[in-house]
Chains A and B, each alone.
Chain A
Amino acid sequence: MDHIDFSIVLHVWPHLWQGLKFSFMLTVAAFAIGMILGTIFAIIQHLQVPVLSPIVKTYITIMRSIPLILVLFWFFFLVPIVLGYFSSSGRPIPIGPVYAAYITFGLFEAAYYSEIMRVGLRSISRGQFEAAQALALSTFQTYRFVIMPQVLRVTAPIILSQTIILFQDTSLVYVVSLTDLLGAASKIAQLNGRLIEMYVTVAIIYLLICSALSQIVTFLKKRAEPMTR
């Protein structure tokens, strides 16, 4: 190996930036889908809705027991078939790997966010529900205006921690040949043979972003402590 030259990174930066933007997009999409579904799942379990509650529980257990890479393989195979089943033609619909990735990560993360929400819901005292009932709030109003705002406050640091993990996990789209930050770096490395520079650069970029976000987690934890004490 000849000398290491990091100036190469500047030349290919636009490609890396494109990849990083996709990593961010995927994180945001998965976060949005995962939080909405996760909250719904958690409330279904909390209200012990018949039929739905055990289904949701099984779904979460399965998702949390198998590796994300296997889930990616499953969904990239299944999503077109399922969509085709619901469409008029009944044929598999190719939806493109980017949307398949959004759906996969969203549905996968929903299981993790839902567990966080479930623990958060358990930490709310009974009196809150009883008080809401005494005020004649409907079930929806109770969760929307009384319970969930408190749950979100308590769980904020954990949700952010999980989102940092999600951001790191988006690098796994490498296995389905999508071009995220790591995918871009690996493709460039294959072209110019600069493996060391490309992979070390990617590692540093991830390290900087995730360390900065971890600082926010520490801050949120400190803010949450006096309240829960």
Chain B
Amino acid sequence: MFDVLFEQAADGRRYIDWLLSGLVWTVALAFFGWWIAFVVGVVVGVGRTVSSPIVAGVARAYTELFRNIPLLVQMFLWYFVLPELLPTSMGNWIKQMPNPWGAFLPALFCLGLYTASRVAEQVRAGIEALPRGQREAATALGLSGRMAYRLVLIPQALRLIVPSLTSEVMGIYKNTSVALTIGLLELTAAARQISEATFQTFAAFGAATIIYLALALVVHQLMVAIDRSVRIPGTEGGPPRRRFLLSLRGSGA
């Protein structure tokens, strides 16, 4: 069934090389996008729990904005609209970026900042799940607000939310496929190209599906391993079930 993948394509490479190069873009986008999402997500998530109304308001506005606009629309805003709104010289520089970077970079920022808003919600839930006493004890020890977050609250919250972050990591590698709409030849786009070039739709989509399943397995095992190594002893199963149930959200794309 997959014989066609080893045939030579019009550009001299084999079709399987198209798939593998698509896989590289998918993984690169998910990996680097995740670090943007994680760093921004922690900052925004912490911002939502601080007492300053301005910081909390800005953080809230960020999550509302990025979570309530579809990823595909955000992708178009980054790719089509942003270069027009920037000063002309800068906009032209972006538009003239050579392929595939011209599509990769907008997709990277789009995906990273979108996922950040979802990570932020998990971080906030993690910090709020901590017992009050943690913050009070930190204050009693004379830690400043900043120190309390850095040394006491954030480390514990992050260890607590690893299981719920798993679904966000699963989300980001699936969402990389949205980048095909702005012309990035990632895995799904590569599969479609093979299907169009060879009419072997079963083989092309089947191979892509198997690769995605393998990715899901790797991501899942990785997160389980991380959870096992950082889990706070005595908190089997993470935060209380009720909170987990209420914060459980799937991601479609």
In the docked arrangement, what's the CA distance between A107 and B84, Å? 39
Among B65, B176, B178, B250, the one with the most A-chain Cβ atoms within 10 Å of its Cβ is B250
CB distance from A227 to the nearest CB of B (A): 10
Residues of chain A lying within 8 A (CB to CB) of residue B81? 195-196, 199-200
A215 → chain B closest CB, angstroms: 10
A203 to B245, CA, bound (A): 30
* Interface residues as binary, B177-193 with A (CB distance below 8 Å gives 1, 0 otherwise): 11011000000100110
State the interface size on chain A (CB cutoff 8 A).
53
Q: Which of A172, A174, A199 contacts B77 (CB 8 A)?
A: A199
User: Is A162 an interface position by the 8 A CB rule?
Assistant: yes
Write the nearest CB–CB distance from A101 to chain B, whole angstroms.
Answer: 14
| Residues of A contacting B141 in the complex (Cβ-Cβ under 8 angstroms) | none
Nearest-CB distance from A162 to chain B (Å)? 6
Q: A1-B84, A69-B178, A171-B70 are in contact. Are A199 and B252 (CB under 8 A)?
A: no
Q: Is the pair A69, B180 in contact by a Cβ cutoff of 8 Å?
A: yes
* Contact across chains for B250 and A165 when beta carbons are under 8 A apart: yes
Tell me the interface secondary structure of chain B in the complex: helix
Across the two chains, which residue of chain B brings its CB closest to A1?
Answer: B84
Is the C-beta of A106 less than 8 angstroms from some C-beta in chain B? no
Instruction: Say yes or no: B245 contacts A123, CB within 8 Å.
Output: yes
Asked if B201 CB lies within 8 Å of chain A CBs, one says: yes
Judge whether A228 and B68 touch: CB under 8 Å: no
Complex Cα distance A214/B215, Å?
Answer: 31
> Residues of B within 8 Å of A, CB-based: how many?
46
Please pick, from B65, B80, B205, B249, the residue contacting A161 in the complex, using a CB distance under 8 A: B249
Contacts of B4 in A (CB 8 A): none
Of listed B68, B70, B81, B175, residue having the most chain A CB within 10 A: B70
**Contacting A172 at CB < 8 Å: which of B72, B170, B216, B249?**
B72
Say yes or no: B241 contacts A123, CB within 8 Å. Answer: yes
Q: Provide the residues of chain B in CB contact with A172, threshold 8 Å.
A: 70, 72, 178, 253
Task: State whether A229 touches B242 (Cβ < 8 A).
Answer: yes
Q: Do A221 and B246 touch across chains, with their CB atoms under 8 A apart?
A: yes
Binds A, one of B127-135, B149-157, B206-214, B227-235: B206-214
Which chain B residues border A196 with CB–CB below 8 Å? 80-81, 84-85
Name the residue of chain A whose CB is nearest to the CB of B189.
Answer: A69
Say yes or no: is B69 at the interface (Cβ < 8 Å to chain A): yes
Cα A176 to Cα B72 in complex, Å, equals: 13
Within the assembled complex, what's the spacing in Å between the Cα atoms of A69 and B205?
A: 11
A57 to B213, CA, bound (A): 14
B70:A65 contact, CB within 8 angstroms: no
Give A196 to B16 CA distance when docked, in angstroms.
38
Least CB distance from A83 to B in Å reads 16
| A148 at interface, CB cutoff 8 A | no
For A158, the closest partner residue in chain B by CB is B248
Closest 4 CB pairs of A and B: A65-B216, A210-B68, A67-B177, A168-B70
Can you list 15 A-B pairs with a CB-CB distance of less than 8 A? A65-B213, A67-B174, A67-B177, A69-B188, A74-B205, A112-B250, A116-B250, A164-B68, A168-B71, A174-B181, A175-B180, A200-B77, A202-B73, A210-B67, A228-B245
